[in-house]
Amino acid sequence: MTSLHLLVPRCLSHYRFHAATCVLLGLAVFAHATQTQLVHIRSIDLSASFSSTSGYGDNPLSVTFDGTHAYVGGYKATSGSPATVGVVKVENVLNAAPTLTPMSTTQFTSPNLRGIDALSYDAATSSLLVAHDSGAATTSFISRRNASDGSAVWSVSNPQGARPFAMAMDPRGDNGSPGVGFLTQGSGRRRLLSLSTGATIFDGTNGGIINTSPDSGTTWRTLAFDPNGNVAVVNQSAVGYGLRVTNNQWQTLGGTLNLVTRSELKNTAVNNVGQGVAIMPGLGSDLLAFSGRSATGLTDSTGGTSTVSSTSVHVRNLDGTTAGLTQLELNGDENGIGTPWTGDLKNLAYGTSGSGLPVLLVVDYVGRRLDVYVPEPATGLLLAACGLWAARRRR
Supply the pLDDT for residue 384.
Answer: 52
Supply the pLDDT for residue 7.
Answer: 34
This model's pTM is above 0.85: yes
> Is the pLDDT at 2 greater than 50, yes or no?
no
The pair phi, psi for residue 196, each rounded to 5°, is: -70, -45
* Lowest-confidence segment of 2-16, 152-166, 365-379 by average pLDDT: 2-16
List residues bridging with 213 in a β-sheet: 261
State pLDDT tens for residues 199-258: 999 999 999 999 999 999 999 999 999 999 999 999 999 999 999 999 999 999 999 999
Q: What is the spatial distance between Cα 132 and Cα 110, in angstroms, rounded to a whole number?
A: 9
**Helices and strands per DSSP (H, E), number in the chain:** 3, 29
Mean pLDDT for 1-19 is 36
Mean pLDDT for 23-47 is 71
Q: Which domain holds residue 390?
A: 1-36+376-395
Q: Do 22 and 153 have their domain in common? A: no
> Is the pLDDT at 88 greater than 80, yes or no?
yes
State pLDDT tens for residues 349-375: 999 999 999 999 999 999 999 999 999
Residue 208 near residue 190, CB atoms below 8 Å:
yes
> Is the pLDDT at 26 greater than 60, yes or no?
no
Supply the pLDDT for residue 10.
Answer: 36
Query: Which of the four pLDDT bands, split at 50, 70 and 90, describes residue 377?
Result: confident
Average pLDDT of every residue of the chain: 91
How many structural domains is the chain composed of? Answer: 2
Q: Of 85, 106, 74, give the one whose Cα is nearest residue 347.
A: 74
Mean pLDDT for 166-177 is 99
Residue ranges of the alpha helices (H) in 98-255? none
> Is the pLDDT at 382 greater than 70, yes or no?
no
Q: What is the spatial distance between Cα 290 and Cα 316, in angstroms, rounded to a whole number?
A: 9
Supply the pLDDT for residue 361.
Answer: 99
Q: Do 216 and 292 have their domain in common? A: yes
Residue 37 DSSP label? P
Query: Which of the four pLDDT bands, split at 50, 70 and 90, describes residue 34?
Result: low
Residue 159 DSSP label? G
Q: Do 32 and 119 have their domain in common? A: no
Cβ neighbours around 215 below 10 Å, total: 12
State pLDDT tens for residues 319-356: 999 999 999 999 999 999 999 999 999 999 999 999 99
Q: Do 291 and 366 have their domain in common? A: yes
Kindly state the percentage of the chain with pLDDT values over 70. Answer: 87
Query: Which of the four pLDDT bands, split at 50, 70 and 90, describes residue 385?
Result: low
Residue 252 near residue 260, CB atoms below 8 Å:
yes
Mean pLDDT for 2-18 is 36
Residue 63 near residue 72, CB atoms below 8 Å:
yes
Q: Do 145 and 109 have their domain in common? A: yes
> Is the pLDDT at 119 greater than 60, yes or no?
yes
> Is the pLDDT at 15 greater than 70, yes or no?
no
> Is the pLDDT at 129 greater than 60, yes or no?
yes
Q: Do 62 and 116 have their domain in common? A: yes
Residue 58 near residue 40, CB atoms below 8 Å:
no
Kindly state the percentage of the chain with pLDDT values over 90. Answer: 86
Q: Do 242 and 286 have their domain in common? A: yes
Q: Do 384 and 302 have their domain in common? A: no
State pLDDT tens for residues 268-285: 999 999 999 999 999 989
Query: Which of the four pLDDT bands, split at 50, 70 and 90, describes residue 115?
Result: very high
Q: Do 31 and 134 have their domain in common? A: no
Q: Do 357 and 283 have their domain in common? A: yes
Q: Do 95 and 57 have their domain in common? A: yes
Q: Of 278, 169, 283, give the one whose Cα is nearest residue 232.
A: 278
The CATH number of whichever domain residue 94 belongs to comes to 2.130.10.10
Q: Do 294 and 354 have their domain in common? A: yes
